[in-house]
Amino acid sequence: MNHPDIQQQIHAWLLQLGQQPQTLVPAASDASARQYWRATLADGQSRIVMQADPAVLDFAPFLARQAELAAAGLPVPAVLAQDAAQGLVLLEDLGTTELAAVLDAGNAQDWYRRAIDLLVSMQATLPHAQLPAFDAAFQQRELEICREWYFGQQLGVTLDGEALAAWQRSCALIVARNVQQPVVFMHRDYHARNLMVQGEALRLIDFQDAVAGPLSYDIVSLLRDAYLDWDEAFVLDLAIRYWEKARAAGLPVDADFADFYRAFEWQGLQRHLKILGLFARLKYRDGKERYQADIPRVLHYVQKVCERYVELGALARLLRQLHPSGQPAVGYTF
């Protein structure tokens, strides 16, 4: 369905709901099959319509997570109406200001503390038994996205022999470490582009892929952001603040911060290897090239962690072989 057809579908649906849309414009796009439209109504208020082909994307997880988060008092957008058959959901409009857009050296510490408070509240409040398990098999599947799309498509390399064995051993080690962590409600994409700013408050979006997963996953997503650079001292200070807040809230964090930070780094490694694969897949499969600009940052995270831990030496060597200049290469496919 092309844009004019979607606009007509949304316009007709809003009229059925008794809303009078004056304008209907694209509001945002993301890395999924979802589209977002901003409808300005006759009374001057605006609403967001989330749209997707119901044959491609099921809105049930989004609606279930929204209900759970809202019931716990967490700041998610209200669901005002839905039509699963058409693949349409009407949402409260949280505005256009992402946290990422307002951060600077002067205010970042304050905003990140608020984001940490929100994360701790989410982890301490929400049940997770009903969620898909972010278990060893899940983590391994994600790592294979890196091998298939980043190594295979972006770099044009097929791992075999000792290189493949080194990759497989490294993945097994990463996953084995990560599944030892305590399990909590895990947003799975908790970062500054998925936190909206309204006045002095933060609002939470993009929570539909939540799983039951490792405690450190969301905090490393926030602090080692695929789209933003922060120096190591800043990240370390905020990781300590999170650890202290989580302990005070009764979350099952390690008693020793050094143990927690090690877990934080290993879980971040799994996430960032997956992201390398996702960013490559977005280009080569989906034609979305804008994420390519963020690959050097994500690769840097991966390389630094691999270099810090002797157990990851084989993976560090493999990455150096694949990036002899130290920077990601542009791959070509024919």
Q: Where in the chain is the domain with CATH 3.30.200.20?
A: 3-92
| Residue pointed to by tokens 């600009």 | 293
- Confidence (pLDDT) at 328: 58
Of 296, 273, 277, 297, whose CA–CA distance to 285 is shortest?
277
- Look up the pTM and report it: 0.92
**How far apart are the C-alpha atoms of 318 and 170, rounded to whole Å?**
10
Q: Are 48 and 92 a contacting pair, CB within 8 Å?
A: yes
- Confidence (pLDDT) at 30: 59
According to DSSP H, which parts of the chain are helical? 3-16, 60-71, 99-102, 108-125, 136-145, 161-178, 217-223, 232-248, 257-284, 295-308, 313-322
CA-only gyration radius of the chain, Å: 21
Of 187, 218, 229, 195, whose CA–CA distance to 111 is shortest?
195
- Confidence (pLDDT) at 229: 94
**How far apart are the C-alpha atoms of 106 and 179, rounded to whole Å?**
37
Strand-strand pairing, 195-198 and 88-92? unpaired
| Three-class secondary structure of residue 143 per DSSP | helix
Q: Where in the chain is the domain with CATH 3.90.1200.10?
A: 99-322
At residue 207, what are phi and psi to the nearest 5 degrees? -100, 5
Spelled out in words, what is the top-level CATH class assigned to the domain 99-322?
alpha beta
- Confidence (pLDDT) at 323: 94
Check if CATH label 3.30.200.20 holds for domain 3-92: yes
Separation in Å, CA 320 to CA 11, 27, 270, 317: 53, 40, 18, 5
Mean pLDDT by 10 residues, the chain (334 residues): 78 91 83 84 91 90 95 96 94 95 96 98 96 98 98 97 97 98 98 95 95 98 97 97 98 98 98 98 94 97 97 97 73 31
- Confidence (pLDDT) at 332: 32
SS3 of 40-88: EECCCCEEEEEECCCCCCCCHHHHHHHHHHHHCCCCCCCEEEEECCCCE
- Confidence (pLDDT) at 334: 22
Of 320, 33, 302, 290, whose CA–CA distance to 146 is shortest?
302
Neighbours of 27 (CB within 10 A): 18
**How far apart are the C-alpha atoms of 181 and 200, rounded to whole Å?**
33
| Three-class secondary structure of residue 137 per DSSP | helix
